[in-house]
Chains A and B, each alone.
Chain A
């Protein structure tokens, strides 16, 4: 276990800059998720921590030691790849013990470590099989087994669940989280799936365009997004944004007036953000036209037209509204987010 510190880390390919000075402190034993859309630089950053990409500027420290110029093998990290990267010509046991073998471990020690990792991950009965004989979930477990068998200081996960089907992804999500709780190893996990980020992370780093937009605990990011990007990225379905003006009577968007939180500013242009789950059915609410109703069982998702704006709402109750009819809705005034013209949160 070791802390990981990134100090003003930059990365350029020729004249193209892809990471613009990243600063992140990851504490010992923490589970940090790097999340963001495709091309935001999260995988590049992870690969730089692993030593698979060179660092253009700044410093990366693992356990207080600058590792900028160290080979991956000398950083004491283990990585789980998106496509598992299991050696096809080796059995599960050989795959898992491969790194120990090349670090001069004795046969007995390797066998013991492999058995230990296989026991934790439920792979004991699969040790003699080849990767091609395993299901996706089993391969994922072997990839994790290969990582934990060496007892590294840091685990790096590069979108490890994206090749699995939705159901298995939920199962494996729990297994990875459980493994972290059991071993307590510092973990950096990359995903573009914000649900994965929310459910697994101690802290989330939201990235966009090679920059860190916000770092925080999952619920902090959900409750207090620092800007429009984070507000739109965290939460599913995404937050609704309505352009308009702050007035003493409330937030004016065309003919519609929406409630503001207590102590909100009362003048100027702003973007009004409200999550779909924070819209309630209310007789005294504003009128919205129903465009689409999606019953999910546990909740009902409804696509609505509010004046000229398209928004979505999620209701716990089973509403009977049909497309073409209207309903009355009211935002929860305590769960409103306001953003200024630059997209920064207004407190």
Chain B
């Protein structure tokens, strides 16, 4: 919708937006600038918005103090697998709930949705017991399997179902007349049209996995196996005090891919959520 605002209103609106941006932009700005400050400058008062001295050695120290490249790879491949697995499961489950008539489908869907109401803190101990029994503690399997079959996948299934419900019936009927079976209709018609919803699912699943903190600290114990959020807490000195500038350098490197993904795909993300009815 296009609305014509007076120049005065426009100025006021942009001014308000700038003020509202501060709480979002300032922490990122502080993180990036502090990552190149000597540790003594970080707590200078009044704080410096721009570093007085630059110290880029913090970035090198990140890799010296921990196997950060390995941890980076751990986070990346786990997030990629979780994203791919969730996309496969949620698209197929969402399609089934939306388009295939089977007994108690709505009731089953409600039961699946109930999974969202259980906090991960409640299930973490039983899950630990299960994975311990399977010999998967200090492996990445729990971090891959729990999200794919847990709450993130349930939410993704909900998003995909809402999208597929809105797909016109006639498209599937035309495909049936054209000679396609159920799976081919899903694969060649429904799925390509679901790109915006799939994009949204991919982004928030990737972000969820990338930022996962509770599960790694429960399931992983060796630094070689750590993921990034867990590794960030281990940049400490001999007395356990945080090495802030190094930690913030690691945090900056951790945040960059997430920011890039979101900047590149934000249109897809908003479109996908719009299709689900989750957005205004």
Mark A residues whose CB is within 8 Å of B. Answer: 50-52, 71-73, 77-79, 81-83, 85-89, 98-99, 102-103, 146
Q: Knowing A73-B179, A102-B180, A103-B179 touch, does A81 contact B174 (C-beta < 8 A)?
A: yes
A146: which B residues are within 8 A, CB to CB?
174, 178
Instruction: Choose one: A79, A82, A88, A102; the contact of B193 (CB below 8 Å).
Output: A88
- Given A85-B168, A85-B170, A102-B184, A73-B193 contact (CB < 8 Å): no
B176 A99 Cβ-Cβ under 8 A: no
Q: How many A-B residue pairs have CB under 8 A?
A: 51
The residues of B that contact A78 with a CB separation of less than 8 Å are: 177
Chain B residues touching A, majority SS: helix
B residues in contact with A79, CB < 8 Å: 173-174, 177
Q: Which residues of B contact A (CB under 8 A)?
A: 168, 170-171, 173-180, 184, 189, 192-193
Contacting residue for B173 out of A85, A86, A89, CB 8 A: A85
Q: How far is the CA of A86 from the CA of B189 in the complex (A)?
A: 10
Q: Within the assembled complex, what's the spacing in Å between the Cα atoms of A50 and B184?
A: 19
Bound complex: CA A334 to CA B12 (Å): 79
Known: A81-B170, A89-B192. Is A52-B178 also a contact (CB below 8 A)?
Answer: no
A89 to B189, CA, bound (A): 8
CA–CA, A82 to B171, complex, Å?
Answer: 11
Give Cα A52–Cα B170 distance, bound, in whole angstroms. Answer: 10
CB distance from A50 to the nearest CB of B (A): 6
A73 and B177 in contact (CB under 8 A), knowing A83-B168, A85-B170? yes
Q: Is the CB of A52 within 8 A of B176?
A: yes
One of A51, A71, A83 near B170 (C-beta < 8 A): A83
- Residue among B173, B179, B189 with the highest chain A CB neighbour number at 10 A: B179
Report the 10 A-B pairs with minimum CB-CB distance, sorted nearest first: A85-B170, A99-B178, A73-B179, A85-B174, A81-B170, A102-B179, A72-B177, A89-B192, A72-B176, A79-B177
Chain B residues in 8 Å Cβ range of A102: 178-180, 184
> Contact at B178–A81, with CB atoms within 8 Å?
no
User: How far is A146 from B179 in the complex, measured between Cα atoms in Å?
Assistant: 13
Instruction: Determine the chain B residues whose CB is within 8 A of the CB of A89 once the complex forms.
Output: 192-193
Kindly list 11 other residue pairs between chains A and B, CB separation below 8 angstroms, not including A71-B176, A83-B170, A85-B173: A51-B176, A52-B173, A77-B177, A78-B177, A81-B170, A85-B174, A89-B192, A89-B193, A99-B177, A102-B178, A102-B180
17 residue pairs bridging A and B, Cβ less than 8 Å apart: A50-B173, A50-B177, A51-B176, A52-B176, A72-B177, A79-B177, A81-B173, A82-B170, A83-B170, A85-B168, A85-B170, A85-B171, A87-B175, A88-B193, A99-B178, A99-B179, A146-B174
